[in-house]
């Protein structure tokens, strides 16, 4: 071992990509980065020049030119989107490894979801990911909808298809850290969320991500649970959000001089926002047993934190969360690309 898993503790958009990128940078270019799941969620990161990237197929650490990027068997791939991201980042076939067993999202999968109106009924992004998951489960049953397609059978992906199990095991044998960037949030798990059917199509726990990556439980020495100060859900009928509020209130209370409205990276629709929920976060802790907890978007509590300093209001909020969870917070995110490690705090403002 060493394997790190980054998992969201709420309903997605907690900042998992930002955290995975920070963990990869600690490894000074030696990490292997893994992205599981499909393109139904976008992860944001900033490269070393400050350019903002929103990636839906590749892990965010790809923006730093890591040596190996892996899309394992638990990946659902829109080839056009993936190849666009690969080209944008200037990656070569030797930089990217796709499992032969990774599933391809076809136009038939996308059409199936759009025609089902699942985006209206439960707030799905209708990217075809869920339909591709169903196709895999149906195992070729007659009249079961669009068929499953493997990456090994898609000519567009063949330059990248390799044994990801062998590559990951080799990396671990060499002592390199593998970082698994999970997608969406624990509150969207079809197994563990109390809000079914307003969930996603795959398990979103650390154990689920590990299985999708093709690695063993004994490989893991680090599980990072990422939380938002104010959790979000996607727009529409996407499920309950405790103490739901609005972005005008969040902006005003934080003292921000800019509009803090957030839009989903896939559908470009206004996100819903609510107050911190302890129940779902406690369940996420119980199931994932994190070694590190990250509390992101502290600048949405007090805008003066966006440059890395912690104010008294920010400290009070951290203590409020810690008391409610009965767990320490280890890192706090204070801006789009910055963290403060508690115990190594910058100057505190009144």
Catalytic residues: 13
- Burial (CB count <10 Å: 0-12, 13-18, 19+), residue 165: middle
Contact 3, 142 (CB under 8 A): no
Contact 38, 105 (CB under 8 A): yes
Long-range contact set of residues 155-162: C-beta below 8 Å, sequence gap at least 24: 156/79, 156/83, 157/77, 157/79, 157/82, 157/98, 157/104, 159/93, 160/71, 160/93, 160/96, 160/97, 160/98, 161/97, 161/98, 161/99, 161/100, 162/97, 162/98, 162/99
Contact 201, 208 (CB under 8 A): no
Q: How far apart are CA 248 and CA 236, in angstroms?
A: 18
Q: How far apart are CA 255 and CA 298, in angstroms?
A: 12
């Amino acid at each position: 071992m060493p394997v790190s898993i980054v998992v969201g503790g709420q309903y997605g958009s907690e900042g998992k990509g930002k955290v995975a990128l920070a963990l990869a940078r600690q490894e000074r270019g030696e990490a292997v980065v893994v992205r599981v799941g499909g393109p139904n969620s976008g992860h944001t990161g900033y490269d070393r020049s400050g350019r903002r990237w929103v990636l839906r197929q590749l892990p965010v650490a790809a923006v730093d030119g890591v040596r190996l990027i892996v899309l394992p068997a638990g990946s659902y791939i829109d080839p056009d989107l993936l190849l666009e991201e690969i080209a944008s980042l200037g990656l070569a076939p030797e930089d990217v490894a796709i499992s032969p067993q990774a599933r391809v999202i076809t136009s038939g999968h996308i059409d199936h979801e759009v025609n089902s109106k699942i985006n209206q009924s439960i707030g799905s992004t209708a990217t075809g990911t869920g339909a591709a998951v169903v196709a895999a489960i149906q195992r070729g049953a007659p009249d079961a909808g669009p068929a499953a397609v493997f990456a090994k059978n898609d000519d567009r992906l063949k330059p990248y298809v390799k044994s990801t199990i062998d590559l990951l095991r080799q990396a671990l044998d060499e002592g390199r850290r593998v970082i698994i960037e999970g997608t969406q949030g624990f509150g969207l798990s079809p197994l563990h969320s109390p809000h079914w059917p307003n969930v996603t199509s795959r398990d979103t726990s650390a154990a689920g991500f590990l299985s999708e990556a093709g690695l063993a439980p004994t490989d893991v020495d680090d599980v990072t649970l990422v939380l938002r100060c104010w959790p979000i859900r996607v727009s529409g009928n996407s499920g309950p959000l405790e103490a739901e509020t609005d972005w005008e209130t969040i902006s005003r209370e934080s003292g921000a001089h800019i509009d803090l409205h957030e839009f989903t990276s896939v559908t470009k629709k206004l996100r819903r926002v609510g107050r911190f929920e302890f129940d779902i976060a406690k369940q996420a802790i119980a199931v994932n047993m994190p070694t590190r907890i990250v509390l992101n978007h502290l600048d949405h509590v007090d805008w003066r934190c966006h440059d890395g300093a912690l104010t008294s209001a920010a400290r009070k909020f951290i203590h409020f969360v810690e008391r409610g969870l009965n767990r320490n917070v280890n890192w706090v995110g204070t801006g789009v690309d910055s963290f403060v490690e508690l115990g190594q705090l910058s100057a505190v403002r009144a």
